[in-house]
């Protein structure tokens, strides 16, 4: 079965750029979405179809996908961005990555 | 405002059954495919099942196939998940999620709205 691999944790200083990766076999040939989940809350879609931002998502969130790696980039990271982030793709079934905890310190 | 409200969770013994429900409002229900996603305590997200806007083409994760049935009633704006033969590993928070109709189903399937979830605990 298809697998998506994310680093368990990423840390960033406020105002800096956070980069969260998601790896999978030929992932660049698939569409990738990203979800943000804060403690005690339901996930929120922040990027879909590799790089599209839903309405209401700040411009500091961006995405890319090429080769075997998709990347979520948060520019000018704020304390409110501290959360778990999950990538998701489709390979005959929906697949989620294991999640990355972003710490802003 | 889109709202997805789950119900039907609870504590059940291994081998038991539960029927989860999701009441949808704030959008045209039969414009969207719908899905269930679960999250075990302290763990990540796991897709469970999806169903097309028409009620056709149900799909299931291998971990639940044969034990779970997804259905919907477009007249009642409701989504369901019948869970039989429950196992301890099915313990999780179950989210009702809306497929973004930009590409509902298929290679760009993703979820643009999530409910608050209903807790399922399978324990003897």
Hey, is the C-beta of B106 within 8 angstroms of any chain A C-beta? yes
Check whether B42 has a pLDDT greater than 90. Answer: no
CB contact under 8 A, B112 and A48: yes
pLDDT band at B105 (very low <50, low <70, confident <90, very high): low
**CA atoms of B24 and B3, how far apart (whole Å):** 6
Average pLDDT over residues B10-35: 97
Higher pLDDT, B102 or B48: B48
pLDDT for residue A10: 98
What are the angstrom distances between the C-alpha of B114 and each of A12, A25, A104, B117? Answer: 28, 28, 25, 8
In this predicted model, what pLDDT tens digit does every residue of A35-72 receive, in sequence order?
999 999 999 999 999 999 999 999 999 999 999 999 99
pLDDT at position B68 is 98
State the pLDDT at residue B108: 86
Please provide the average confidence, as pLDDT, over all residues in chain B: 95
Instruction: Identify the CA nearest to A66 among candidates A97, A30, A20.
Output: A30
Residue in chain B nearest A31 by alpha carbon: B108
| B44, B95, B107 member nearest A31 (Cβ) | B107
Asked whether the predicted pLDDT for residue B106 surpasses 80, the reply is no
Per the model's pLDDT, the better-predicted residue between B42 and B27 turns out to be B27
Q: Which pLDDT score, from 0 to 100, does residue B59 have?
A: 94
- For B112, which of A1, A42, A45 is closest by C-beta distance? A45
């Amino acid at each position: 079965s298809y697998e998506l691999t994310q680093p368990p944790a990423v840390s960033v200083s406020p105002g800096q750029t956070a980069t969260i990766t998601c790896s999978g076999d030929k992932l660049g040939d698939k569409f990738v979405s990203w979800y943000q989940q804060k403690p005690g809350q339901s996930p929120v879609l922040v990027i879909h179809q590799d790089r599209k931002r839903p309405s209401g998502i700040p411009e500091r969130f961006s995405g890319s996908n090429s080769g075997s790696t998709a990347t979520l980039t948060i520019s000018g990271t704020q304390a409110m961005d501290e959360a778990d982030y999950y990538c998701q793709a489709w390979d005959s079934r929906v697949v989620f990555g294991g999640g990355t905890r972003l710490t802003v310190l | 405002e889109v709202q997805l409200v789950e119900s039907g969770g609870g504590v059940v013994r291994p081998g038991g059954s539960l029927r989860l429900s999701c009441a949808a409002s704030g959008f045209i229900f039969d414009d969207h495919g719908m899905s269930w996603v679960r999250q075990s305590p302290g763990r990540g997200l796991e897709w469970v099942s999806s169903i097309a806007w028409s009620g056709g083409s149900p799909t299931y994760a291998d971990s639940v196939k044969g034990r779970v049935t997804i259905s919907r009633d477009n007249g009642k704006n409701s989504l369901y998940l019948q869970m039989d033969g429950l196992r301890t590993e099915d313990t999780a928070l179950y989210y009702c999620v809306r497929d973004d109709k930009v590409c509902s189903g298929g290679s760009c399937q993703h979820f643009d709205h999530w409910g608050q979830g209903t807790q399922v605990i399978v324990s003897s």
